[in-house]
Every structure is written in structure tokens, then in C-alpha cells.
Amino acid sequence: MPSLTRRAWMIGAGATAIAAAAYETANTTPRPGAGARPARLQFPEGFLWGTATSAYQVEGAAETDGRGLSIWEAFAHQPGRIRDGSTGAAGVDHFHRYKEDVALMKALGVRAYRFSIAWPRVFPDGAGAVNPKGLDFYDRLVDTLLASGIEPYATLYHWDLPQALQARGGWESRDTAEAFGAYAAHVVRRLGDRVRRFFPLNEIRAFIEEGYASGIFAPGLSLPEARLNQARHHAVLAHGLGVQAVRANGRAGTTVGPAENIATALPSVETDDNIRAAGIATRELNAPYLTVMLEGRYTDAWLAGQGADAPRIAAGDLAIISSKVDFVGLNVYTPSQYVLASEAAPGFIALPLQASHPHMASPWLKLGPEALYWAPRHVQHLWGVKDIFITENGTSGADEPAEDGTVYDLDRVMYLRNCLVHLQRATAEGVPVRGYFLWSLLDNFEWADGYARRFGLVHVDFTTLKRTPKLSAAFYRAVIARNAPA
């Protein structure tokens, strides 16, 4: 084991003991009396274990090498927008510390890293003149990953829209979708000799609903329904144009698919009628996002609900939006609804969640690990998808360092173990989930929560930027080594 790897885990007396125990569990065959693991708890052979971050949340170096401004800088500088008054300008300096971060990934044993490319680094004005240095950092990152045996999975857009495009209407403008297609083509031409897996846009639902409806994310708008629907439509159009750009410019064998935060309905009781109802609800809950991307049509119920506010759809748009994808990536944190079957249209009743329903450190993150089973199962059953990845799952935690400096994040370990048990159930039943990316490798800039919510497996001291693996890192390392959730 390389010395950096070793050092990363030797963190305080308590953590050393825990890390040592995790290594032992992970690296030895069962000892007499320890009991062999029943095969049914295993993930399939070759299951891909990874971790994920995004550019604006980790990179920092916001003014380095000609990077342009993004909507998040503009937004974060408005008083009251970010909970702790911070910005992502410094991130956690992944831009300069990427080698240390790749070594941390290697210590975990991950085989894949999902990161995003900052559009404003590549086209500082969103379109037009290319910044010649804009992709240099990603060249270095990709080479380091490959040299470490970690496969790069690149997201082309993780919410950091160039501010210059926002000034021209942002996602309300069709031009933004077209500009995204051109940017995607440029990136794939440059990195496509080494990067073979691409996600066009991360969580369209999140950046549209929170950026253009609730206004809690950049650009901070609360649009009337018709304008909101047009922004939704342009974002899924960009997805389709991104898929086409990857196809047109990638090498043979390159694959592409969405990374969408599917809204998942769960059957309150697992009976056939409730399961069917949960499928109907999931299709409708995702109507302007995953459903139109995979079906090439907005559902009748959704269109009827929008009435005169429905989006204007140009000829050919739906075919672009539903361009064939190779896989579907799902970001799954929390269920959206628990449902009961109903004879009356639309075929389900959403049950109100009790006030006592537990949540994690982020109040939006309700506990409901069964979503890791139902989200991919619905996607397989509704749309016949044959390759699914969990492109994000993880949680914020209390994350207070103990006296020995270690974060014993039992809440995160508990959350992850539960989620992975349910995901393993899906694979055991033949749902084609091929891999899992844990969000996130590092504590980072959590959007409107600033640095006040931590999602990392690795604790970052935001003053010194020192990285210290948490207990959950030892947990994840053991999961990977055993290829089993518990």
C-alpha cells in the first residue's frame, strides 16, 4: 500500500484501530467462527464502486487560467442567499490538491470517479471564444485517475452556468440549450480519447425547480408556470443535444446517459396493486424530466395539468430530447412519496408523511432507504432500461470531530448501510444496476447551505483544507472490498 494511502487512514488512535479493523475485515477470508457471507448478500461480480463530486463544489481556483463567472458566483454574492454567507470560490481546492484526492480514492478502493467539468472554464462567455487553458486541469485529473486505475466518469454540466448566458436568459432561452450542445462537443473532442463515460447534465429537476421555481438556488428566480415550463423544456432539450454531441464526437465504445434525481414513489405496502400505483405515480412525478427523456413525450396527464402553460415544442424537439441513451444514472437520496392504490384516476393516492418521519442532518433528506430499491426497479419496469447506475447517494451528517480529531459519523454509516442493503436487494432480484457512486468523496460547498452541511466520506477542515477520512470511509472501503453491503 502506498505511504500516502496508509497515512490517510492513520488518523488518531481511535480511528487507527477502526481503520485496522476495517482492513482486516475487508482483506481476509472469513476466519473460523466468523461465518461465511451468504452469497445472496453480495453485489454482482464486477459491480462498479465509485464516488462523486462536482466542479463548483470542490475545485476552487475560480479565477485561475481564464475561468469566466458562473451564476453561482453572482448568486452567492447576493446577501442572504447562502446560509453561512460563503461562496464556492475556494471550494476545497481540489483544483490544486487533486493528486492527494485521487490517492484518497485509491485508498477507498473505488474504480470510478464522477466529477464535473466547469463550463465557464472552457467557454468563459458560455459560447464563442474557447479558453485555450480551460480543459488543462481536466487533462491532468483524467491522466492521474487513469494512472491510478480509476475510470473517469464526466458530467458536462453540474449547475455552474456561465453568467454571460444567464444575462441572455439562462435556461429560459433556447440558445442556452444550443450553446450547451456546442460546449459538449468541444469537451468530448478534447477528452474523449481517455474519457468514455459522459453524463450531459446533472439533476435537471434540481437546478430548474430550485433555480427557477423556489428560487433557493442560482439564479434565484420564481417564475410563473409558462416560463418555468419553457425552462424545463430547454433543459431536457440540452440533455438530448448533449447526448448527440457525445455520439458524434466520442470514440467507439463511448457511452452516455442522464444523471437525474428521479422522484420516486414507493408502495406503502408491497402488494401488486400498490406497486403498480407507485409505478404510475413515479412516471407522472417525472413527467417533464426523466419521463420525457425516455419516452419522447410529455404524459397526457401532465400536459392536461399545464393547460395553456404547457411548453412551446418546436418540430423535432421530442426526438432530440429522447435521443437514445446507453444507461440511466439515478441520484437517489430520499423517497418523494409513499402511495396507496386507488380505483380513481390517476390510480394512486399519495400518503401524507407523519411529522415524526426521521430525517438526516439536511431536513429535506428524509430517511427512506427503500428508494434505492424502488427507483431502479421502476426505471427498469417503466422504460425497459437495461443498464442503471446510482450516480449519487449519500447524506449530510452531524460530523463533529471527536477529541482525537476523527469524525465517527455513525449516522452516515447507518444511512449508507441501509441504502446499500436495499440496493443489493434490487441487484439480487435482477434489476440491472451496474454501479454506485457515493456522494461525496469530500466535504464541500453544499450550494445554498454553504459549508454548513457536510456530505463527505473525508472530512475537510475548511480553514486548513486538511483531509481526514471519517469512519464512513472505513465503512465504504470494507463494502467495496467485500462487494457486500453489510
Give least dist CB 54 to ligand IFM, A. 5
Of 123 and 455, CB closest to ligand IFM:
455
Contact assessment for residue 288 and residue 237, using Cβ atoms and an 8 Å cutoff:
no
Give least dist CB 472 to ligand IFM, A. 15
Cβ-Cβ contacts under 8 Å for 77 (sequence gap 6 or more):
87
* Euclidean distance between CA atoms 156 and 202, whole angstroms: 8
Phi then psi for 169, rounded to 5 degrees?
A: 115, -10
Of 56 and 302, CB closest to ligand IFM:
56
Give least dist CB 470 to ligand IFM, A. 16
Of 141 and 332, CB closest to ligand IFM:
332
As to burial, measured by CB atoms within 10 angstroms (0-12 exposed, 13-18 middle, 19+ buried), residue 100 is middle
Number of residues that bind ligand IFM (CB under 6 A): 8
* Euclidean distance between CA atoms 39 and 123, whole angstroms: 50
Per-residue buried b or exposed e for 409-437, using 16+ beta carbons within 10 Å of the residue's own CB: bebbbbbbebbbbbbbbbbeeebbbbbbb
Q: x/- contact string, 154-193, with ligand IFM (CB under 6 A)?
A: ----------------------------------------
Smallest Cα–Cα separation from 179: which of 190, 168, 194?
168
Give least dist CB 157 to ligand IFM, A. 12
Give least dist CB 181 to ligand IFM, A. 23
* Euclidean distance between CA atoms 211 and 61, whole angstroms: 24
Q: x/- contact string, 238-277, with ligand IFM (CB under 6 A)?
A: ----------------------------------------
Smallest Cα–Cα separation from 399: which of 344, 473, 464?
473
C-alpha cell at 243: 447526448
Which of 43, 113, 373, 455 touches ligand IFM (CB under 6 A)? 455
Give least dist CB 329 to ligand IFM, A. 12
Q: Please report how the helices 471-482 and 94-108 are oriented relative to each other, as an axis angle in degrees rounded to 10.
A: 50
Give least dist CB 116 to ligand IFM, A. 9
Which of 151, 392, 399, 409 touches ligand IFM (CB under 6 A)? 392
Smallest Cα–Cα separation from 76: which of 217, 183, 224, 201?
217
Of 18 and 360, CB closest to ligand IFM:
360
54 near ligand IFM (CB under 6 A): yes
As to burial, measured by CB atoms within 10 angstroms (0-12 exposed, 13-18 middle, 19+ buried), residue 252 is exposed
199 near ligand IFM (CB under 6 A): no
Of 114 and 467, CB closest to ligand IFM:
114
Of 11 and 375, CB closest to ligand IFM:
375
374 near ligand IFM (CB under 6 A): no
Of 19 and 71, CB closest to ligand IFM:
71
Tell me, rounded to whole angstroms, the distance of Cα 365 from its chain centroid.
Answer: 14
> Angle at CA 397, nearest 5°, toward 395 and 398?
175
* Euclidean distance between CA atoms 296 and 288, whole angstroms: 10
Q: Which residues are catalytic?
A: 203, 392
Which of 47, 374, 415, 439 touches ligand IFM (CB under 6 A)? 439
Give least dist CB 454 to ligand IFM, A. 10
What is residue 320's three-state secondary structure? helix
Contact assessment for residue 379 and residue 330, using Cβ atoms and an 8 Å cutoff:
yes
Of 209 and 446, CB closest to ligand IFM:
446
Of 260 and 317, CB closest to ligand IFM:
260
Q: x/- contact string, 200-229, with ligand IFM (CB under 6 A)?
A: ---x--------------------------
Give least dist CB 238 to ligand IFM, A. 17
Which of 332, 446, 478, 485 touches ligand IFM (CB under 6 A)? 446
Site for ligand IFM in 319-348 (CB under 6 A): 331
Cβ-Cβ contacts under 8 Å for 328 (sequence gap 6 or more):
257, 258, 260, 290, 294, 379, 383, 385, 387, 388, 389
Q: x/- contact string, 344-373, with ligand IFM (CB under 6 A)?
A: ------------------------------
* Euclidean distance between CA atoms 352 and 337, whole angstroms: 8
Q: How far is CA 354 from CA 56, 260, 338, 366, in A?
A: 35, 27, 11, 11
Q: How far is CA 74 from CA 65, 70, 174, 350, in A?
A: 19, 7, 22, 38
Q: Contact positions toward ligand IFM, by CB under 6 A?
A: 54, 57, 203, 331, 392, 439, 446, 455
